[in-house]
Structure 1
Amino acid sequence: MFLSNFSKILRCKSSLIIGHPAADRITRKWHKKAIPVKWGKPGMGWTKLNFDGSCKVRTGNASIGGICRNHRAEFMLGYAGPIGRRTSTVAELAALQRGLELVLENGWYDVWLEGDAKSLVEIIVQRKLVRCKEVQKHVDDINLMIPELNNCIITHIYREGNRAADKLAQIGHQLQKPCIWRQSPPDEVLKIVREDAEGKVVLRTR
């Protein structure tokens, strides 16, 4: 089980871990070769929430998306929706905040949070203060919800390993109002969910 090395840490309520070995490692070195990236399953009894925000450069319109899966990589819940004119940072935080709300509503208390915005993950884990009041409000709200979980891990992953959440965030731009999927995700997301479950590796060339 991927959490075996962290059993002592995870006995503490709402432990936050960045740079988890199950997530793709972040490196500052320039990679000339493609980096293999794949989505990782959570441990048994855990729920994994992948989240993402999207912001259109031309219009400034933003949307959110996220997906919850279990240790078998089975779909549990997905969400998406427009949030008006927002920055990309606010969109990412709004996506995480909405995902946490849904996680708590469904009574899932051992949760692995994963997103592709490294700076955002660091803000949450390190409880950094930011100058933007709107951003800080989302950060504060998120930090109030996390202690309600029994155990919580938050990690960064490259976008190539966050494809399902990214696709839902893109779908959010097309919606008139927020939407939640509980039985099965949209077909274009279902395809990614199946690939993730099979352990598909996506090469990162950027």
Structure 2
Amino acid sequence: MMLGVTSILRCQGLIQNTVRLLNRNLHKEAIPVEWKKPEIGWTKLNFDGSCKGKLRKASIGGVFRNHKAEFLLGYAESIGRTTSVIAELAALRRGLELVLENGWTDLWLEGDAKTLVDIIVEKRQVKCAEAQRHVNHINLIIPELNNCIVTHIYREGNRAADKLAQIGHQLEKPKLWRHIPPNEVLQIVNEDAEGKIILRRR
């Protein structure tokens, strides 16, 4: 009888520990992520780079929206073989070139590659010469803007740019969308505008 009670107590202890562990993990995992609108008069660029497979085929994409979360401009392009870091930098650089072309002066730049965001914000030097060329170009454009902030967001809040980067893999030449996003991006843009929250699982 004592063995039975001991076993039951041990079992109950294991169950309680497992429940506690599961609760802790669930609490850890549930990070709410939401795309945020820029302030009135500001334009927000979300950018992303994509690198696929052993051949490291890369593409870039980005989306510009205003304070009403209205789609202003999207871009996508295949950029050949390279690394994911170069793809992210190329996506931001192309976005900034479009900023100058369109005369936007107050910019919120947002991407999901934290390392890259840190490089730009902290004006770090990088070892790769090609990456440094992109960084130098980006650092020349940013001072031309009236105001500019650069932030990191989890991928769940960068879905529109991510989708455009995926579209870039299928393109033979660079493509722009003005005022109306491609069908694959439309739902994401609408969900972002409505403030949809997506839980990030760590």
TM over 0.5: yes
Pairwise CA distance, 1:188: 1.3
- In the other structure, the counterpart of 1:35 is 31
SS in 1 for 2:41: coil
Shift of 1:33: 3.0
Corresponding residue of 1:100: 96
**Structure 2 unmatched ranges of 5 or more:** 1-24
> In the aligned structure 2, how far is the partner of 1:192 from the partner of 1:80?
16
Tell me how far 1:140 sits from its aligned partner.
0.2
From 197, 202, 205, the equivalent of 2:198 is 202
Residue of 81, 84, 87 corresponding to 2:80 = 84
CA distance in 2, matches of 1:38, 1:187: 21
RMSD: 1.0
Equivalences for residues 8-157 of structure 1 within 5 A? 32-157=28-153
The structural deviation recorded for 1:74 is 0.1
Moved more, 180-189 or 195-204: 180-189
Bigger Rg, structure 1 or 2: 2
- 2:159 corresponds, among 163, 176, 180, to 163
Q: Structure 1 regions of 5+ residues with no counterpart?
A: 1-29
Q: 1:108-141: CA deviations, max 9, x gaps?
A: 0000000000000000011101110000000000
* Percentage of pairs with the same residue: 73
Q: Which moved further from structure 2: 31-40 or 91-100?
A: 31-40
**What's the TM-score, normalizing by structure 1?**
0.84
Whole-angstrom distance in 2 between the partners of 1:183 and 1:199: 20
Cα deviation, 1:178-197, whole Å, max 9, x if unaligned, reads 10001311111011000000
- How far apart are residue 34 of structure 1 and its match? 1.3
2:9 aligns with none
- For residue 92 of structure 1, what is the amino acid of its counterpart? E
- TM-score (structure 2 length as normaliser): 0.86
d(CA) in 1 for partners of 2:179, 2:60 = 19
| Alpha-carbon distance, 1:59 to partner | 1.9
Q: Which has the higher helix share?
A: 2
Q: Distance in 2 between matches of 1:120 and 1:51?
A: 11
Runs of 4+ in 1 over 6 A off after TM superposition: none
Letter of the 1:34 counterpart: A
Q: Note the C-alpha offset of 1:58.
A: 2.3
